[in-house]
Amino acid sequence: MTARPCVQDDFLQTLAKDKTTVNVNGIRLSGQLAGFDQFAVLLESGAGVQLVFKHAISTVMPANGRGPARDPADAPLSRDKPNHVQARDR
């Protein structure tokens, strides 16, 4: 059995790879994700690089208000249930 992908890791990895400027709520920070691990994120901004522990964060979202670009293969398979999440193999 293969391990299921971690939604958090996928989301953060896409933001970091695309160098998307993000707003981090809970402590009101803004910058680009330079990296992350199980417990913390590195946030790079004009003020430098900050290590922010995930337990202090309530949300992370792109500063432009739009999510990262998604692969068309990630689109729901059924138009009848657009809010239904479907598992996919990797």
In a domain, 41, yes or no: yes
Helices (H), strands (E): how many in the chain?
Answer: 1, 5
Mind listing the pLDDT tens digit for each residue in 7-45?
899 999 999 999 999 999 877 889 999 999 999 999 999
Instruction: Give the count of domains, the chain.
Output: 1
Q: State the CATH number of the domain containing residue 35.
A: 2.30.30.100
**DSSP string for residues in 28-63:** TEEEEEEEE-SSEEEEEETTEEEEEEGGG-S-EEET
The answer to whether residue 33 is domain-embedded is: yes
pLDDT score for 78: 47
CB-based contact 34:21 (threshold 8 Å) = no
Supply the range of the domain harboring residue 40.
Answer: 7-63
